[in-house]
Amino acid sequence: MGRPTIPTEKPIEICYNKKAIRSIKILKMKKVNLRTKTPPEIFRLYDIRGIYPQDLDEELAYQIGRCFICFLRKKQKKKKLKIGIARDIRPSSPILFKGFSEGIRDEGCDIVDFGLITTPMLYFAVSYFGYNGGAIITASHNPNPWNGLKLTGEKAVPLSGNTGIFWMRNHLAKHSFSKEKTLSPSTVRNVISNGARGKIIKKNIERTYLNLTFKLAKVKKNEFKTLNVAVDAGNGVAGPIALKILEKAGTNVYPLYCQPDGSFPNHVPDPLLKQNLGDIVALIRKKKPTLGFALDGDGDRIVFIDEMGRAIPGDLITALMARIILRDKFGEKILYDIRSSNVVREVISGEGGVPVCYKIGHALIKEKMRREKAVFAGELSGHYYLGKNLFYEVPFFVLLKILKEIKEKGAGFSNLIKPYRKYYHSGEINFEVENKERKIRELKNLYSNGKILEIDGLRVDFKDWWFLVRPSHTEPLLRLVIEAKTKKLMEKKKKELSKLISQT
């Protein structure tokens, strides 16, 4: 059914206790010019992200690396840390990797360099190998020249705005982490291990990641020899690992743009935009595979496409996965984001699970999953998370489980999804609004007779329809979502709310 589709005057903060200083050597280091200001807007709710080089360059990456270690030491009460680092395919990623890793090493901490891998692989490695933290140089689905960092602590717990990123922003506004020719006695406190810089260790995690993914999904090698799969990796970093997953599964593959290329010559690696799915949709309609999927630039989002070339909304995939998972996990909790269709809640409850609606955003979802001990979570944006002490994105786990369901049921992908197409959903509509909070208050007063939920913006539920308005954290935008039992009602309420939101 219908769904459109910083100042450098203050001294450096002391990060170490005084006992370690007595044996520390003076190190010689190359000089790096300091930025006079750190742009606060790059420190966002879920990551650090800006345009290279004006917002984020090698110098700032160096300071962020040192500040990151100060934060982890403050939180973990440890001096010697081991940090896993990866990067995506963007042209600026090696430069930012160099600056960031130099900052970490100048703090006396070791780095495990995973090279070019996806964001979920970075999360996996930090958790699986027990590192103190991790980072990947990436701007996810953004076009060039954007770049940034996604950061985690122990067990791959992500840093969000309120759990580390804003602390780092404020800290860098007060303290500079300069790299001088020699370290003075006052600065030497920022080095440990008898003055030794941290070392870099290279590590390939591909085989371990592949094996664990298949084990979690309970899928054997060459299990899907009769299935055909189309994939569009958008020239992002996920292409090679996607092909190896499909090769091990035994499927026949129709690949598009699986060779990493940071110029993204074919389209921006954002599968949520309909225009970026044109090539894979055309391929699917021509080759008629079992299913297709598209990945974003760092491989933490996956968008599925059925055998007829229709993109499947992320919440309907969450509903399907809830049914699959609850067969073995009866009574467990499953999270879904507040934009999701009511069908998700209905399926979870109907299959004996406990539905938990929550805020949007990977860091917030993962934190809530840990608190609730949830076994799975899904977002409308194509992020899917597994519990089992993992609590990070598992796009290929979801892919394998869906392929297994198709094989065992002997049904087409579209038929598996059909029961969940119960409602008419508007998709997310953006409005330019200067005073976002005032507008939300106005709508709350106007629709006070509905069931109100305010965990992320304002959601109001009625018998036959509901709407959600929530503010963008980075732009003067209000985002509107509407769902109704009929297309006519959905269109009526969309027109009604659009008019109210647009009024000044």
Whether the bond into 269 is cis, omega within 30 of 0: no
Q: What whole-number distance in Å separates Cα of residue 32 and Cα of residue 238?
A: 33
My answer on whether 390 and 464 are in the same domain is: no
Write the Ramachandran bin of 29: left for phi over 0, alpha for psi from -120 to 50, otherwise beta. beta
In a domain, 8, yes or no: no
> What does the pLDDT look like over 351-375, one tens digit per residue?
999 999 999 999 999 999 999 999 9
CB atoms < 10 A from the CB of 75, how many?
Answer: 17
My answer on whether 276 and 376 are in the same domain is: yes
> What does the pLDDT look like over 192-223, one tens digit per residue?
444 589 999 999 999 999 999 999 999 999 99
My answer on whether 294 and 262 are in the same domain is: yes
Give the pLDDT confidence score for residue 464 in this predicted structure.
98
My answer on whether 433 and 413 are in the same domain is: no
My answer on whether 306 and 344 are in the same domain is: yes
My answer on whether 111 and 200 are in the same domain is: yes
CATH number of the domain encompassing residue 464: 3.30.310.50
Would you report the helix, strand and coil content of the chain in percent, each value rounded to 5? 40, 20, 40
**Cβ contacts of residue 383 below 8 Å, gap of 6+?**
300, 301, 314, 362, 365, 393
In a domain, 5, yes or no: no
My answer on whether 300 and 392 are in the same domain is: yes
In a domain, 264, yes or no: yes
**Percentage of the chain with pLDDT > 90?**
85
Number of domains in the chain: 3
Q: How confident is the model at residue 439 (pLDDT cuts 50, 70, 90)?
A: very high
My answer on whether 236 and 200 are in the same domain is: no
Q: Within its chain, how far is the Cα of 387 from the centroid?
A: 16
My answer on whether 242 and 379 are in the same domain is: yes
- Indicate the SS3 state at residue 138: coil
Tell me whether residue 194 is exposed, middle or buried, using C-beta atoms within 10 angstroms of its C-beta: 0 to 12, 13 to 18, 19 or more: exposed
Summary mean pLDDT of the chain? 91
In a domain, 106, yes or no: yes
CATH number of the domain encompassing residue 274: 3.40.120.10
Give me the half-sphere count of Cα atoms (radius 13 Å) on the Cβ side of residue 271.
Answer: 35
CB atoms < 10 A from the CB of 37, how many?
Answer: 12
My answer on whether 322 and 462 are in the same domain is: no
In a domain, 7, yes or no: no
Q: Which of 204, 233, 262 is the last residue of a domain?
A: 204
Model-level pTM?
0.90
Nearest residue to 122 via CA among 206, 28, 9, 242? 206
My answer on whether 25 and 123 are in the same domain is: yes
Q: What whole-number distance in Å separates Cα of residue 323 and Cα of residue 350?
A: 9
Q: Answer yes or no: are the C-beta atoms of 28 and 192 closer than 8 Å.
A: no
My answer on whether 191 and 211 are in the same domain is: no
Domain assignment of residue 466, given as a range: 424-502
**Cβ contacts of residue 376 below 8 Å, gap of 6+?**
321, 322, 325, 329, 334, 335, 384, 385, 386, 387
- What residues are labeled active site? 140
